[in-house]
Structures are given as C-alpha cells and as structure tokens.
Structure 1
Amino acid sequence: MSLSLSFLGGVGTVTGSRFLLEHEGRRLLVDCGLFQGLKQLRLRNWDRFPVEPRSIDEVLLTHAHLDHSGYLPALVREGFAGRVHCSRATAELCAILLRDSGFLQEKDAEYANRHRFSKHKPALPLYTAKDAEAVLPLLTPLPFHSEQRLASGATVQFRRAGHILGAASIDVEWGGRRIVFSGDLGRTNDPVMVDPEPVPEADYLVVESTYGNRAHDGRDAQDELEAVVSRTVSRGGTVVIPAFAVGRAQSLLYQLEKLSSSGRINNVPVFLDSPMAINAGDLFCAHLDDHRLSAGECRRACGIAQYVREVEESKALTANPMPKIIISASGMATGGRVLHHLKRYATDPRSTILFSGFQAAGTRGAAMVAGADRIKIHGEYFPVRAEVGNLPMLSAHADADEILSWLGAFRRPPKMTFISHGEPDASDQLRHRIEEELGWPCRVPEHLEKASLS
C-alpha cells in the first residue's frame, strides 16, 4: 500500500507550511499556509497550487497563524470543498484571522492603486474577505486526545502543542503507518501557555526548527520590558510593539499587567491597537483549558490596555505626543496598523520600536532588528532614528534544547525525521543535533520533494 509525503511549503523557510499525504488515490493536506518574508517566497502564493485543489479530500490544521492557515481562502476559491479539521479554538481564531487577512489584502491593494506605488496595474488582492467567508463553513472542530476517523480513511489525534491558543501536534495513522506533525511547538514552562504534550511514537515525524540553531535568551522578560519602557518614557518617547495578534499580544498584556500591578511601571498608558488582537483576547478568556491563566488573570491582563478599534482612533493615537505603549499587529511589521505607527515613531529618536520574537528573513522586522537605517512602507522610505530592540525570550517557539527535550519523550526513533519550518541554517543545525545526540535518522527535505513512506 503506497503512502507518500510531499513538502509543498514550510521547508527552507518558516512560512508557507503545507504537507501533502497521499494514499491509494486519496489526499490529505496538513496545514495550508501563506508564504511570507522574502519576495521570492511571497511570489509562491501566486503560483498555481502544486496539486489540483479539488483533488484534496481534507485539510488538517495545526493552528491558526496565517503561515499555517492563510492560504485556505485561495484553496477554496480554486475548488477545494472538503472539511478542514482543527481544534475548536483554532476554528474560532481562523474565523477572525482569515476575515482580517482578506480585508487587509483588499485594503492594501486599494491603497497601492490609489497612491500608484505598485508595479502591478492594477494591484490585486491574493483573495478577498468574501473568499475568506467561504472557508468558515468547512471548519470542523475535533477534540484533543481522541482518535477520530476521517472520511479519507485516516485516523487522527490532536495533542496540545503550546505555542498559541488551540495549537496542536497531529498524529495521523494511515495505510498502516503513523505520521506525526509537530506543528509549532511552544515553550517549556511558559508563564502563559501550557507545555507541548509528549508524543509516544511515530513511524515518520515532521518537526519544526524555527529556533533549531539557538537557545532562548535567559534574561527575565519582565525585567527587560520594564527597562525599555522606563528609559523610553523618561525621554518622552513612545514604545511601539509590533506583535502577533494571536498569542504574543496576550502574553505582552499579561507581562505588562504584572509590571503595573507590582508598581514597576506607573501611569504609562497601554493601547491595544488591533481589532483582531482584541477579539483574540476574548477567545483567550473563553478557552481556559488551552493555557495556564485563571479567568481572573485573563480579565486583568486584557483590562490593562485601552482598546483601539476604529481607524480614526488609531490615527489619533499616532498623532498623540504623550509617552505611551502601543501594541499593534503585525508581529514582523509586514502589514496592518503598526505600519502607520512606524511611519511616525521609527523616525523619532525618543521612541522605541520593540519586537517580541522571531523575525523571518525579508520582513521589515528582521531588517530593523539587524540595524537597518531606513525602512520602506507603502512605497516610501522612512529613516530609522528610534531605538530598536527585541525580546526574543517572549517567543512562542521552542528553542533547540526544548525541541530536543520534546523529541526525547518518544519511546523509539522514527524511521525518518523530516526537519521543517526553519531557515536553512536552523534546520541543518537541528538535523545535526538530532543525529548526534539522539542517533536518529533525519534529513532536511527540499521544496516540492515527494518522499515514499514505506
């Protein structure tokens, strides 16, 4: 019985996760993400999908971040009509993220056409908000820790992966083989999210490697956040924090509430300028089983910020000269409202642009963290005069040691471990450590490679 695995994305990069399992004429797609970052990666979003979308029977999602779910509206528009299986929290988050993604792509295309800075005439969105709406009826929640038989014949089980609300590692049993997809693994002993749950065994394993070549900074996140806020406010500046609306924004609010309630930062207003992050916070408080916080801690964390929902409120916030903290999406400064804040505050030497985790190659965030003296936004260059910092210890991804610890819970080595979701050096260094420290066979696949799982 033939079983194969094709790597349609998520190798050689931390974006565009797409893995295709095929068995006896049936097709199961694990994750359906957008490519982000470098232009040559983003252009892949516009390529014809490597297999006919209508030929895919079902989709499994590890979690809701757009690099894992964000291509779904295009897949559905091109003919996919099967079920999209995920955890309940992932389904609810996708309803927020996919709508927002379609809306922003329409707005970005409209802005580019109005200001005539796009090379494309006219600039078009990859998909629309209407395309995103068509995905929502297909989202089918599955419970954690329960084997579920799918229409394709595969049996799947979700285990919590930490990382963000609803994130899962997925165990697929099909054609007499057990294939495990780690998804994005969260941190061990994170103050907000649960630890990634161990997996007992697999014949084949696909594991992420975002931080496969490094260990997280051991400094205390609250100490570092306090120091940045204090010195910025003392010189009359504003702290702008580009943050992922799902996961990172809620963790930042938790840390800021702790600092405020203990008197370590006083009278510094906090603004959450992201309708998507505001909505995600509501879900965070509704899914207490997916994280460590109590209902009261959730309410206090979400209550530390003043919510900014309307565009005019956001513009007024940008223009307001008072010292403050602005948390706004997106986390790598690739789009969204944070770009308008960067236009204003990246040019201000009193202010700070504070990133809070991994910045993929080719993103504004990566450029700024690396010391770029100017950034391009909406076709125009802006000088970077503000202080620029990063708090990598706030990352929601396991580092190399934590990935090795998670792998150590397997009762036996898989026949093959495929290293995915990492930039080339990170993936190769993790491969080397797995081979040397665990003695497992492993490899880093190529984009569009097809492997036989015998």
Structure 2
Amino acid sequence: MTAFTGSASPVLTFLGASGTVTGSRFLVERGEEALLVDAGLYQGPSSLRRRNWEPPPFDPGALEGIVLTHAHLDHCGYLPCLVRDGFTGDVLCTQETADLAGIVLRDSAHLQEEEARYANQAGWSRHRPALPLYSAGDVERALPHLRDVAYGASHQISAALAVTLDPAGHILGSATATIDVGDRRVAFSGDLGRTGHPLLRPPGPPVAAAALVVESTYGDRLHPPPNPDLLRDAIRRTVARGGVVLVPAFAVDRTELVLLELQRLEETGAIPRVPIYVDSPMALDALGVYLRALHQGSPQLRGDRCGALDDLERLDLHAVRDATASRRLNAPDSPCIIVSASGMATGGRVVHHLAHQLPDERNCVVLTGYQAPGTRGRQLLDGARHVKLHGRYTPVRAEVVDIPDFSVHADADELVAWVASAQALPRMVYVVHGEPDASESLARRIEDELGICAVAPRLGERVRLD
C-alpha cells in the first residue's frame, strides 16, 4: 500500500477501467488530500475478477471522499470493500444513485454469498472454502456513507477538492463529475447516455476543464439504426414453436426499457399477449425508483415518453420475488417471456434459467446490450455451442438473438460530438472504460478530428493535471 504523493501538483491515477470496460476507479490527489472517482467492481473473466481481491494501492482511511457517477456495479460495487478496509468519509452521489446503489449492492452481496454457499455445497470452486468478496453486513455498513448531492451544485470536500455533478443521461441519477483540484479542473464522463434514450434527457456539454476522462464502451463502433422487427420476430417465432423467450437484462434501466418495448409491441398487435415474468427482486425495486421519479416530476425524465411507465400494468406482468416461484419458471407449461438479471449472464437467477432453457431448441435467448469479453453473454453472442453454468457444461440449442437497440451508452460519433461540444475544449483527453481497440480508436478520432491530445492510459498510470 502506497501513500499519497504529497506533491503540490495535482495527480490523477488510473486504478481501473484501463484496458477494459469494467472496474472504474480513478484517484485524484493533491498534497495529502485525495478522493476516488467511482469504486467499481471488476466483472467478466476470472483474470479481471481476481483484481477485486487485491488490496487497493492506497489507504482507504486516508481518502477525503468518494464520488459515484452512477449505480451500476462496475462503478459502485467495490464500495463495501473500501468501507470494510477503513474508509470513513462521505460518498457523494445523486439521490437516485444513492437509492439505486442500495438496491444494487445488497443484491451483489446476496449473490456472492449464495454463489459461495452453492460452490461449497457442490464442490466446484477451486477455493476451499469459497468466500464472498463482501457480505451483506459489509454493505449495510457502507450505505450510511452515501450523501446525496444536487445536480449543478459545487460541493467542497476538502480545502483543495470540490465536486460538481451534472446529468449524464445514462441511467436515472447518472452524472458527469467535475473535480476542482486547487486551481485545476478535471472532468469525468462516467457512463454517457445516448441522445435518444427512451426515458432520459440527453447529457449537456462538458464543462470547461483542462483534462477530460471519457468512457469508450462503444468507442470503435456506431449503433445501427433501430430495428424493432428483431424483437417482434424473435417473440413470434418462439411463441409459435411453444418456447420460452429468456431476456437477460440489467436490473437498472435495461429492464424498464425492455418492458416499455414489450408494451409497445403488444399494444400495436405486433406480438401475441403472453405472460411476462420479471424474475429479479433488484429489477423490481429499481422499477420502483423510476416510478417514484416519474411521480415526483424528475427533470431527468423526458416528458414525451416517461408517462409510458405508468402504463406497464396493461401487460400480463408478473413480479417474481421469491426463489420458489423463480424455480417454477425453469419449466413453464406454456409460452412466456422471462426478463431476469444479470444482463451479461454473469450471475443471478438468469443463470439458472439458462441452464434449463438453453438445451431446448424451441426457446430463445434475447441479448439486449453490450456483452463484455469473457462473460456468458459474450459467449452466446459469439456462437458458443456450450457454456459453463455452476460447474457444468450446458449445450446451446436455443436460438440466440442480439438486439443492440437497447444500449444506453453513447456510440463513437456521440462521444466525439460530446467532447467537441465542451464549453472550452480540454487540453488533454484520457479515454477509459473500453476494450483496448475501442479506447484506442476513440482516442485517435479525438486527436484527428478535434486536434486534442488523447490517450488510452495504462492500468496504474499516474499523470499530472497541472
């Protein structure tokens, strides 16, 4: 564990999301004062997940604060570890991020404890005994540290550090973060939303900052034009052959968008009316946060679309919370649609459903967003004939359909346009949170088209901000 620099020059260190699309963690320091922007969990292949078990290269107790850009696990999921290891300060975020982070982190701890229990019972873990990264108790000790900050208001963390959050349009409560470090300023995009998000207003332009840290999930590609026929046809085919449509979907935001599209298709007669099961307590709780924001008139929501959330009750919609009801869905007696977390099939109830649905060629698995390398979702997207589930290989005979329309990450054109819209162009852009090809591609475009020095930093790299 290293101390902070002690230097009067502000320093930025890339402790995650460098060379990969997960594990966002960025350390900002000046002198003995430091804060962490995002505390993300590494997800995907075991080579990345093992990093979650490594002690941080700093003393968590010495941090002045932590800033969360939003509540997805790869941006907030490491927080319980930091509190357990000594962090005592405030975790600054929007109110919606605080609400959603509580849901996400409790679910994360539950899944880890259940997976460890099951691995020990079944004997398929290489660790003896298998342990969770953190416990439910660790989460409950972490949540009181969350402090909500209003959009647009500067919050002084210490003598040298201040933060301002602005809407990012990615999920409810998501934010860009501007950090003032003495007389220097660095801005972080967090995960940036699309200009055409079905529910949220698009992000505003970046503030004037000397340095900008921007995500690159889709940094080397463009979103194709929306094709609503893909989902319509997949459902029609599957129902006609008596099968089950299984939709692995992120519990926060993605489930809401999938349900809205199912509602539209059913109301226009494009798909038959069949039971729709939301088999994710986390997704159901997150939907409650979205509905509360709607009823409170949140300015984040688009006025022309958000009312559709109230109309979801018109669907033949079934909320599945208890494990017994979830197990019954492994062998439904008639065609239905199951929406279950997680979106990349890395854990949760959807893994059990995959084990039962993949071997049957009548069924269909619908992938609804980015699938990181090393995840089961990516294996299915790449045409795997077998996937490993709970220590056993399962044949893939079900149809697999990829529907990119649901992505809420800005694509390459939107990212470049966002940087170009800054109140004053930054002198330096650091491209993070993407696979190497995506990050390098976006950095080249920013240099070529905007004339700004742009690099994809290495993990652990430190740069001066003066």
TM range (shorter): over 0.9
TM-superposed CA distance for 1:52, in Å, is 1.3
1:252 aligned to 2:268? no
Q: Secondary structure at the match of 2:266?
A: helix
Query: What's the CA shift for 1:77?
Result: 0.5
Matched residue type, 1:45:
N
State yes or no: 1:353 paired with 2:365: yes
**Alignment partner of 1:231 out of 222, 232, 237:** 237
Shift of 1:321: 3.0
The aligned runs of 1:373-412 (5 Å cut-off) are: 373-412=385-424
Aligned length: 453
**Other-structure match for 1:18:** 25
1:140 paired residue number: 147
d(CA) in 2 for partners of 1:258, 1:249: 14
Q: Which residue of 1 aligns with 2:463?
A: 451
User: Alpha-carbon deviation of 1:365?
Assistant: 0.4
**Structure 1 residue aligned with 2:276:** 270
The answer to whether residue 425 in structure 2 is matched with residue 413 in structure 1 is yes
Q: Which runs of 5+ in 2 are unaligned?
A: 1-7
Task: List aligned pairs for 1:152-231, cutoff 5 A.
Answer: 153-220=160-227, 222-231=228-237
* 1:303 Cα deviation after fit: 5.6
CA contact (8 A) 2:187 2:207 kept: no
1:280 aligns with 2:292: no
* CA 408–167 in structure 1, closer or farther in 2 if over 3 Å, else same: same
SS of 1:9's partner is: coil
Q: Distance in 2 between matches of 1:292 and 1:86?
A: 21
Q: CA RMSD in A?
A: 1.2
Q: Distance in 2 between matches of 1:191 and 1:48?
A: 40
Structure 2 CA distance for aligned equivalents of residues 423 and 52 of structure 1: 29
SS in 1 for 2:26: strand
Match of 1:370 in 2: 382
Structure 1 window deviating more from structure 2 (106-115 vs 185-194): it is: 185-194
| Residue 301 (1) aligns with residue 312 (2) | yes
The answer as to 2:134 corresponding to 1:127 is: yes
TM-score normalised by length of structure 1: 0.98
State the SS of the aligned residue for 1:403: helix
Aligned residue for 1:130, secondary structure, equals helix
Partner of 2:5: none
The equivalent residue for 1:28 is 35
Aligned 8 A contact 1:31 1:60 in 2: yes
Q: Gaps spanning 5+ residues in structure 1: where? A: none
**1:342 is aligned to 2:348:** no
Deviation string, structure 1 residues 100-128 (Cα, Å, up to 9, x no partner): 11111001000000000001010000000
**Shift in Å, 1:190:** 1.9
Distance, in Å, in 1 between the alignment partners of 2:343 and 2:289 is: 19
Give 1:301 deviation, angstroms.
Answer: 2.7
The offset of 1:219, in angstroms, is 3.0
Q: CA deviation at 1:266?
A: 2.3
Shift of 1:330: 0.2
| Partner Cα distance (1:50, 1:219) in 2 | 43
Q: Is the 8 A contact 1:180 1:205 kept in 2?
A: yes
Q: Deviations over 1:243-267 (max 9, x none)?
A: 0000100110111111112221222
Paired position in structure 1 for 2:58: 51
**TM-score, scaled relative to structure 2:** 0.95
